Amino acid sequence: MAEHVEIMLTEDEVDNRIREIGEQISKDYAGKMVHLICVLKGGSFFMTELAKRITVPVSLDFMSVSSYGGSTKSSGVVRIVKDLDEPLEGKDVLVVEDIVDSGRTLSYLLDMLRDRKPASVKLCTLLDKPDRRVVDVNVDYTGFQIPDEFVVGYGLDYDQKYRNLPYIGVVRFD
């Protein structure tokens, strides 16, 4: 099936919002070090841009979980594909995600991370689709709340395509 992408949020809008969130996080974590956890692959673009806007000391780690295959519907099945390299004990953890949709992935992940005894765990997402929520998840920092549309760009993919778009777009099927 052919598809095309329509812009929903421009590169400037996304960059400006990331700068604002970075400032807020820098205030909230004043005097602390924040340990950013990137959920691959989607969270990677947002995480690196956000990290550059945070002025308190930052450390980073990466994990990968599987939720979506080639379709646009969540399977609800969450599997750890790549675990973190570092222990979380005593750290102020901030999970950085591309999008919270049903909330299934994050809910599972946050429970698992809390079991590792960090000092705190917060969640930061670039996008939130609240209309789609199935499992309750507390989001501490949100870039944009968006309507129930399938979006790509800034790390988000459709069938592994479009992650490199510097804006957020909606996939339209022709």
Given the rule CB under 6 A, which residues bind ligand IMP?
A: 42, 67-68, 74, 97-106, 150-152, 156
49 or 98, CB closer to ligand IMP?
Answer: 98
Minimum CB–partner distance for residue 45 and Mg ion (Å): 11
Question: Could you say whether residue 155 binds Mg ion (CB under 5 A)?
Answer: no
First and final C-alpha spacing in the chain: 7
Which position among 92, 101, 128, 157 bears the catalytic label? 101
What is the DSSP annotation of 38-86? EEETTHHHHHHHHHHT--S-EEEEEEEEE---SSSS-----EEEE--SS
Interface stretch with Mg ion, choices 15-23, 37-45, 73-81, 131-139 (CB under 5 A): 37-45
Minimum CB–partner distance for residue 22 and ligand IMP (Å): 21
28 or 61, CB closer to Mg ion?
Answer: 61
- For residue 64, how far is the Cα from the chain centroid? 12
∠ Cα 92 96 101 (to 5°): 130
Active site residues: 101
